[in-house]
């Protein structure tokens, strides 16, 4: 009885730490990820799914349930914007992201921590992102300021239609820090090969986005199986593969 009562006391705090929880196998609607962003040509934002541009509950080629992010050639964005206007400075956010890519295309971003406020004052546009840089490599990039280029901090050879569980820890600050995990294993970042990279992660306000942006020279399809965002590593263990 005492153990049961203790579990009831602790449960609300544990649940409150999980900020986003999407699991396709559980039958969750992709809307659980946040605000849907569909954009055909630059500035041509769409409010509804279409045959050429959509995000919907679907299955991958192997029959696994997933949120299917589809963009026909020349369309530029099919993303979900999580924690819209909710992220705060001085906090640590843990992200778990289980994803596959049908075709690897240079310039395709499958995740970004996008800046929304400081751009007006020459802040970083995309402080952190995961971008496909050629037909075989995924790169974790950091942009220190709006006037700086995005710089690769880590690379991995990846394959089409292969699922990868990605874990990202972000401490929001100027500077803050970031850690990266792939399939549960921590990666080393930057020229100094550090486990924790000091970085300007939050020049004004930055929010996480999942799906497909850029790489518009071909049809793009990404499949998102699992996303969790929480306040501790344990909160995102399922999606990150911890």
State how far the Cα of 119 lies from the Cα of 137, in Å rounded to an integer.
29
Strands 220-230 and 18-23: what pairing? antiparallel
Is there a domain that residue 4 lies in? no
Express each pLDDT in 52-75 by its tens digit. 999 999 999 999 999 999 999 999
What is the total count of domains within the chain? 1
| pLDDT at residue number 17 | 82
- Which domain range does residue 161 map to? 20-240
Q: Answer with the residue of higher pLDDT: 119 or 143.
A: 143
| pLDDT at residue number 2 | 43
CATH number of 207's domain? 2.60.120.200
State how far the Cα of 226 lies from the Cα of 196, in Å rounded to an integer.
24
H, E, C per residue of 137-183: EEEEEECCCCCCCCEEEEEEECCCCCCEEEEEEEECCCCEEEEEEEC
Is there a domain that residue 160 lies in? yes
Is there a domain that residue 177 lies in? yes
Express each pLDDT in 168-184 by its tens digit. 999 999 999 999 999 99
Instruction: Judge whether 171 and 201 are in contact, CB under 8 Å.
Output: yes
Express each pLDDT in 195-240 by its tens digit. 999 999 999 999 999 999 999 999 999 999 999 999 999 999 999 9
């Amino acid at each position: 009885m005492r153990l049961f009562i203790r579990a009831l006391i602790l449960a609300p705090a544990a649940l409150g730490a999980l900020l986003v929880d999407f699991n396709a196998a559980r039958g969750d609607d992709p809307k659980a990820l946040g605000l849907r962003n569909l954009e055909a040509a630059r500035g041509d934002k769409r409010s509804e799914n279409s045959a050429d541009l959509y995000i919907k509950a679907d299955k991958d080629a192997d029959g696994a349930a997933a949120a299917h992010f589809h963009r026909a050639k020349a369309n530029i964005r099919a993303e979900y914007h999580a924690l819209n206007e909710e992220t705060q400075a001085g906090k640590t956010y843990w992200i778990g992201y289980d994803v596959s890519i049908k075709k690897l295309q240079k310039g395709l971003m499958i995740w970004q921590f996008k800046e929304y406020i400081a751009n007006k004052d020459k802040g970083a546009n995309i402080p952190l992102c995961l971008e496909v840089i050629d037909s075989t490599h995924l790169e974790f990039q950091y942009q220190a300021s709006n006037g700086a280029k995005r710089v690769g901090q880590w690379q991995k050879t990846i394959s089409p239609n292969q699922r990868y569980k990605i874990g990202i820890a972000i401490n929001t600050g100027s500077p803050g820090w970031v850690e990266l995990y792939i399939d549960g294993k921590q990666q080393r970042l930057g020229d100094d090969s550090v486990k924790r990279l000091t970085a300007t992660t939050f020049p004004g306000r930055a929010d996480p986005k999942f799906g497909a942006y850029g790489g518009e020279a071909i049809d793009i399809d990404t499949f998102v199986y699992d996303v969790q965002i929480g306040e501790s590593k344990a909160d995102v263990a399922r999606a990150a593969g911890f």
